[in-house]
Amino acid sequence: MEKLRSVSSNPHIRSKWTTSGIMLAVLLALMPTAGYGIYAFGPRALAVMLVTVSAAVLTEICFWLFMRYVCGHAGQKNTAWDLSAAVTGLLLALNLPVGVPLWMGALGSVFAILVVKMLFGGLGQNFVNPALAARCFLLISFPAQMTDFTCDAWTGATPLALLKAGEQVNVLDMIVGRVGGTIGETSVIAIAAGACLLLLLGIIDLRVPGSYLVSFVLFVGFFGGRGFDLNYLSAQLAGGGLMLGAFFMATDYVTRPITAKGQYVYGIFLGLMTGIFRVFGSSAEGVSYAILLGNLLVPLIEKYTRPAAFGRGKGGVRHGKQG
């Protein structure tokens, strides 16, 4: 590979943004959410974040050291400090309930970085979102601890579980964040603040989140059983990890389609799947599985939404003179 240094892989788009710049912006955008999590759930939330972030970065360093000194890949670049591992760790922490044992958070980080990211080739090569994959890994492995949202601040069921049981919920509380849930999913205001920052900086656009949320609302409206009841729909939108997932996970550059048309398809697919999981599934939440499933379909979506090359019509047919 050393001889290919002058040619990068496509798309050949020039930008002043570097990987670490984007990751820093994402970290900044996550700060309101993380801050609210610490405010609402206490210092233990901070401990969970510190553990997952440091475990993620440490795993990446260890993997690099192993590849370099044991396997003899001297040319391997150390990507531990470009903040991408830190973003993965922080996103994982925001997806955990505050009461998880700290080692469980660390195990999730190791899984995210080692198995999902580095073993598939490192930054840019992971086929699903590492933080979400780690969350699902933990959810399958330790179902009791991962769905136990009781802590000092809150007791009782999450709003989505209440909704599923057919009870009424206070939407205002859900938007502000005065409800139970994982560390980072409760406050819609904090997430929206971070999302606005990313939108203003141009790091994400509304294609994926917009089509995701719209298709989700339409699905829940038609099939949710309560029609287009405003209270119900906004509770579904504000509840669970939907906002966090739509703005911070589904928009992950690596695991979303690169074509604009594909991004709409992807967003609509995520909305439909989340709706199906929430309305017809056995558990109240389905955002993580929907996004993971969407990630797996990305290569297929990209294949069918590839724009025609310059000078060629639909299906790659050449215009004008042949030959």
Partner 1 sequence: MNRAGERLLNGLVKENPTFVLMLGMCPTLAVTTSALNGLGMGLTTMAVLALSNLFISLLRRIIPDRVRIPAFIVVIATFVTVVQLLLQAYLPALNDSLGVYIPLIVVNCIILGRAESYAYHNPPVASLFDGIGMGLGFAAALTCIGGVRELLGAGELFGRGILPDAYVPIRIFGQAPGAFFVLAALVALQNFVKEKLQKAGKPNEKIGSGCSKDCMNCSDGGCTKRFYDTKGKKKEDDRQEPEDLTILNLDEEEK
- Which residues in this chain contact partner 1 in the complex, by CB under 8 A? 71, 101, 104, 107, 115, 137, 140-143
57 or 110: CB nearest partner 1:
110
133 or 298: CB nearest partner 1:
133
DSSP structure class, residue 317:
P
Angle at 37 between CA 196 and CA 213, to 5 degrees: 40
Question: How far is residue 248's CA from residue 184's CA, in Å, rounded to a whole number?
Answer: 11
Task: Give least dist CB 84 to partner 1, A.
Answer: 23
Task: Give least dist CB 142 to partner 1, A.
Answer: 7
Task: Give least dist CB 102 to partner 1, A.
Answer: 13
70 or 200: CB nearest partner 1:
70
Classify 165 as helix, strand or coil.
Answer: coil
- If 0-12 CB within 10 Å is exposed, 13-18 middle and 19+ buried, where does residue 167 land? exposed
Task: Give least dist CB 289 to partner 1, A.
Answer: 13
Whole-angstrom CA distances from 218 to 130, 205, 223, 249 are 29, 21, 8, 21
Task: Give least dist CB 116 to partner 1, A.
Answer: 11
End-to-end CA distance of the chain: 34
115 or 189: CB nearest partner 1:
115
133 or 268: CB nearest partner 1:
133
Instruction: Find all residues with CB under 8 Å of 266, minimum gap 6, and list them.
Output: 208, 211, 250, 256, 257, 294, 297, 298, 301
Question: How far is residue 37's CA from residue 14's CA, in Å, rounded to a whole number?
Answer: 37
34 or 107: CB nearest partner 1:
107
Whole-angstrom CA distances from 294 to 128, 157, 173, 240, 323 are 9, 28, 30, 18, 40
Task: Give least dist CB 133 to partner 1, A.
Answer: 10
